[in-house]
Copies of this chain bind each other. A is one copy, B any other.
Amino acid sequence: MRMSELSRLSGVPVATIKYYLREGLLPAGRQLSATQAEYDEQHLRRLRLIRALIGVRGLSVSTTRELLGALSEYTGDTHRLLGLALGAIRLTEDTEQDVPELADVEALVTELDWNVHKAAPARATLAETLASLRTLGVPLDRHTLLPYARLAERTAVLDLDQLQGIEDPLEAAERALLLTVLLEPALMALRRMAQENESARRHAEAGD
């Protein structure tokens, strides 16, 4: 298909597609002439994925490029890819700080007996968030975090279950990315709805 058709099917404006091509997010099409190129289903699929990562999750162009790079390099090994995807994403855009809470995170990981890479960005994200909460007068100790971590463990089992039985490695890898990155707003929305419900329940019990 031509770029105009790609634009129509994906809903992404031609100027934006050209930008993604320049930024290396989208591979070049097959050149038909000096001014025309041909695109296929793979381009359409990739374009939808880019829109989801940038539009829905608000990732930066450079983070998206890293993620897509990881996706195309390790399609044969889903577990490896998932590790890479987890490694490639920073949840907050803060510069890395050597906060004292990194030691708390290490102690928590040890207590949980989790196998998590020393350099996993999620460790820093967790430590920075705990540091922010401490600054705000709401320190959360390991004792408080532990039951949250146990629930995260069970969430991860659900996540990984959904990758079982997918034969096509590209499809499995893509799904790993989608479930890692895109499911986050859905899970946070479920938490907020559950908080509202739990708050209402306790309110009713209190008799007012």
Q: Complex: how many Å from CA A52 to CA B93?
A: 13
Q: Complex: how many Å from CA A103 to CA B170?
A: 31
Q: Please provide the chain A residues from 141 to 190 with a CB less than 8 Å away from any CB of chain B in the complex.
A: 144-145, 147-149, 151-160, 162, 174-175, 178-180, 182-190
Interface size grouping (class) on chain A: 35 or more
The reply to whether the CB of A207 lies closer than 8 angstroms to some CB of chain B is no
Q: Complex: how many Å from CA A157 to CA B201?
A: 11
The residue that A149 contacts in the complex, of B94, B115, B194, with Cβ under 8 A, is B194
- Inter-chain contact A178/B138, CB cutoff 8 Å: yes
- Inter-chain contact B155/A194, CB cutoff 8 Å: yes
- Inter-chain contact A91/B185, CB cutoff 8 Å: yes
Which of A16-24, A25-33, A120-128 interfaces with chain B? A120-128
Residue among A56, A179, A188 with the most chain B CB within 10 A? A188
Copies in the complex: 2
Contact code string A11-50 (vs B, CB < 8 Å = 1, else 0): 0000000000000000000000000000000000100110
Q: Complex: how many Å from CA A55 to CA B132?
A: 10
- Inter-chain contact B203/A148, CB cutoff 8 Å: no
The reply to whether the CB of A2 lies closer than 8 angstroms to some CB of chain B is no
Q: Complex: how many Å from CA A196 to CA B160?
A: 10
**Chain B residues with Cβ under 8 A from A133's Cβ?**
178, 182-183, 186
The reply to whether the CB of A129 lies closer than 8 angstroms to some CB of chain B is yes
Q: How far is the CB of A77 from chain B (nearest CB, A)?
A: 9
| Known contacts A117-B196, A196-B86, A199-B82; A191/B156 CB under 8 A | yes
